[in-house]
A and B are shown apart, each in its own frame.
Chain A
Amino acid sequence: MTETIKTDCLIIGAGPVGLFAVFELGLLDIRAHVVDILDKIGGQCAELYPEKPIYDIPGFPTVTGQGLIDNLMKQIEPFGPTFHLNEMVAEMQSLGTPTAPLFRVKTNADTIFEAKTILIAAGGGSFQPKKPPIPEIETYERESVYYAVRKIETFRGRSVLIVGGGDSALDWTLNLAPVAKRVTLMHRRDDFRAAPHSVEQMRALVRDGAMDLRIGQATKLEGQNGRLEKVLCRDNDGGEFAVECDAMLPFFGLTMKLGPIADWGLSLHENLIPADTEKFETSVPGIFAIGDINTYPGKLKLILSGFHEGALAAQKVQRYVYPDRRVTFQYTTSSTSLQKKLGVA
């Protein structure tokens, strides 16, 4: 039985908006825990466009996705948030009342939080693996088709077909080649976006006869009772071939889905969460939605809008966490008490 983590605020999503919310909450003496399904901090900025410039962050004529995240991490350092990466929030249970909310949240890694408030800053949703267009692939997902390698041992002694041309596909090809009975890498073209060094290593293994490389796309899976036996494939000239294998690892990148939050009983509108524009609170008191995941009249999906929304939500979070506090508004430029919190006074 894992220990329950008690926190004033649980932030879902470690993208720019979730990170800046840590700052705004921190100024109000509210510490946060942050959960993200990715294995790194930064959300879309880090996953989709780390090296691409952003031109509409106030005060930064240009900053890359990763540059913005690095700066935000520096900015929130005084408030030492705890990150729970590689985890997706699953179940939510309300334990409190509308005036004194309390939520129990469990992740898919069985971490349990008891949070007075929840800030959903989940952007386009949680990143989940894309599935290739193969009929009945779901049938094989229990025993033969995997979208990630959790334990290398799962593949020991098996014939593994890895599909894709990026770093995940190449890295796992190299890592599983010594463990599996046979590894076949298949890609739709004989060009790989993965790191050149990995591609060279893979080509060397192919030359040595230690693995196979096929160019083509999977069209059909064959097997029995969810156990894969063979993958039928098509090459670029319409020719057909088959790869005998009992495990398949397709790596086609990630897509964003709202995920289990959809079942939390919040009002939803086209996979977005409606929020008011005063506190960015959802239909459930104590649960807030900020950034790209929310919707309201006039909503703009801009990072700067998410920053604003986080600042306002933090004020209402303060009301829940410190109901008896007399609220005075202060500026970081002039308030010594805020400056002490930031460690600069």
Chain B
Amino acid sequence: MAKIQFIDFGGTARTVEAEPGSTVMEAAIKNGVPGIEAECGGACACATCHVYIEPDWQEKVGAPSSMEEDMLDFAYDVRPNSRLACQITVNTDLDGLTVRTPEKQA
């Protein structure tokens, strides 16, 4: 298991356990983390699981694929560290990953 920390727009942090192989979005939904909507259920088709990767983690998490970049065009308040949580697969290297959720998803 890997621990993932979500910090919401108001600054409240929540840490959840995520299974390697699952996605950061799934970990959020399973644990009822607010600030992640995932309208499309993980199809990379809605941009409502948008998160900001904390700077320390950007290198480990990596850059979005071109399909994900296309979807990020539709996200709210996109920044250089924006990713879609449904496209980040959890592995033990990401244990301790911290992401922030935006003010709103849409």
**Binary contact track B33-74/A, C-beta < 8 Å → 1, others 0:** 000000110010111100000000000000000100110011
A245–B72 alpha-carbon span in the complex (Å): 26
For chain A, the bracket of interface size reads 20 to 34
The binding surface of chain A is classed by DSSP as: loop
Question: CB < 8 Å: which of B43, B76, B77 contacts A49?
Answer: B43
Given A217-B78, A236-B80, A164 and B73 touching (CB < 8 A)? Answer: yes
Question: CB < 8 Å: which of A48, A124, A133, A187 contacts B73?
Answer: A187
**Binary contact track B76-106/A, C-beta < 8 Å → 1, others 0:** 1110100000000000000000000001011
Given A130-B106, A191-B69, A253 and B43 touching (CB < 8 A)? Answer: no
Q: Would you call A52 an interface residue if the criterion is a C-beta within 8 Å of the partner chain's C-beta atoms?
A: yes
Number of A-B contacts (CB under 8 A): 48
Q: Are B73 and A188 in contact (CB under 8 A)?
A: yes
Q: Are B74 and A130 in contact (CB under 8 A)?
A: yes
- For the complex, count residues of B whose C-beta is within 8 A of A: 19
Q: Are B40 and A132 in contact (CB under 8 A)?
A: no
Within 8 A of B (CB), among A153-183: 164-166
Q: Are A189 and B48 in contact (CB under 8 A)?
A: no
Q: Which residues of A contact B105 (CB under 8 A)?
A: 255
Q: Are A48 and B40 in contact (CB under 8 A)?
A: yes
Q: Are B74 and A133 in contact (CB under 8 A)?
A: no
Q: Which residues of A contact B78 (CB under 8 A)?
A: 188, 217
**Binary contact track A179-220/B, C-beta < 8 Å → 1, others 0:** 000000001110101000000000000000000000001000
Q: Which residues of B line the A interface, CB within 8 A? A: 39-40, 43, 45-48, 66, 69-70, 73-74, 76-78, 80, 103, 105-106
Q: Which residues of A line the B interface, CB within 8 A? A: 44, 48-49, 52, 124, 130, 132-133, 164-166, 187-189, 191, 193, 217, 236, 252-253, 255-256
